[in-house]
Structure 1
């Protein structure tokens, strides 16, 4: 049985359509696969770029942190050195100040000692002259009588006693209670003085002897022998 062309066309049309659909489906699959691959590649690229950017950011942050830490460490070391330097300078200033104070103290003490040594002779001479004037003023007639009576009170029971006084003092004193053998006027005895001689020794109560004792005391206490001649003239 023979079919017409148009009949054959209609008979093969479903197959043709199915074939075309398959071809179209294959193309669609291919296109979809390509799109998916492109999307994957784009995603991987974006992810890679993001990872690289993140790595750069992290690396930059790490370098910045290291630089900050390094700068902070260097600044801390510089501050430590500066503080150490300040402490050393303060210690040096303290030591220098202490040395200055000690030197100043020694200098002042030296000047004071030097000044004392300069004025001590004159001061001692003045003191001696004043003391001598006081002793001379006390050497009156009553002083001679007091010395004489004091000596007699100590000579009770002692034999061979000789009492020497100045003749001028002997004229003015009431010496009736003293024997002539005991009391001897002696011009060598200065006015106001009394010298008692016994077998046990001599008791000298003259001004000269008392003044010698005073000078001995000055020399013993002060350790300096003054010369009164020049100062005595100035005072007079």
Structure 2
């Protein structure tokens, strides 16, 4: 009779951790520009985002494994107590070993259920607490990668300016403002920048010492467009937060 109850206790204790903490997936669709040399930067951004997703999944898997280990230890503790009480019941001649076992194990069963809930909460909190750290780390990596590309590949600067032009509501007069580091590159590629833009008649390129390398602002009679690297990184940051489960 007692062994039968012991089996029931074990079945009740078997706890399913449930589904791991979800990591939202969102496909990033960059703006396509024909012949845009800036595609290299967007490729880097997509690669960095994929790395961020993998890191988040690894963290969740590790936290879940730690929670399962805790549950396994609790299970072993319950089984050990069950065996001890069974032996005690036999030695002392208890007729109702099942009742004695129930009294001894009720708290342990509740403890296991509480441990399940706290472990699931631990996984969620671990991911939430690390979200900011993951985003900042990956963004720092992306800044370094993109920064190196900007210094070694002037075509990226041309691509950024060209993208800003194509994103603008064009008028006959256009003002392009870049950093001092990118000024000469913009001047040398002026004709390439406005190629195919039939409505444009007058293009002025100027430099602004307040802008950093990779910054570009296009002003027309209808408004302005900021195609700076930092602006695009902000968009990448927002995407990271959505991927990692932010609202």
**TM-score, reference length from structure 2:** 0.44
**TM-score, reference length from structure 1:** 0.46
Q: Which has the higher contact order (CA 8 A, sep 6+)?
A: 2
Q: Which has the higher helix share?
A: 1
Higher CA-based Rg = 1
